[in-house]
Amino acid sequence: LAAKVKEGFMDFDVVIATPDAMKVVGQLGQILGPRGLMPNPKVGTVSADVSTAVKNAKAGQVQYRTDKAGIIQCTIGRASFTPEQLKANLVALIE
């Protein structure tokens, strides 16, 4: 799979890895990092319990962070979402 990603395969929304697989995934940092797909233990995408991480990702686990200026950075949807779905997610984030 890592070779396919290096060739440009990006048909996924989340990358989940075990700690020992991070050696391979780390080599993809220049590809995954700018797209916000690099696994991170703080958000649960690097875990020895892969089944729980997958369940959380499929359940719509939301990841957000704030920068030093207090600006919230968060994904409110995917490219496949309708405008109505994106609007509903944005309203839910604000509330």
pLDDT band at 42 (very low <50, low <70, confident <90, very high): confident
Distances (CA, A) of 15 to 32, 56, 86: 9, 12, 22
Give mean pLDDT, residues 51-62: 82
What domain count does the chain have? 2
Identify whether residues 23 and 38 lie together within a single domain: yes
The pLDDT of residue 18: 94
pLDDT band at 62 (very low <50, low <70, confident <90, very high): confident
The pLDDT of residue 65: 77
CB atoms within 10 A of CB 81: 13
Domain containing residue 91: 62-95
pTM for this model (two decimals): 0.63
Q: What is the mean pLDDT of the chain?
A: 87
Identify whether residues 67 and 54 lie together within a single domain: no
Identify whether residues 73 and 57 lie together within a single domain: no
DSSP 8-state code for residue 20: G
Give mean pLDDT, residues 28-36: 88
Identify whether residues 23 and 56 lie together within a single domain: yes
Query: What is the C-alpha to C-alpha distance for residues 85 and 81, in angstroms, rounded to an integer?
Result: 6
Identify whether residues 51 and 79 lie together within a single domain: no
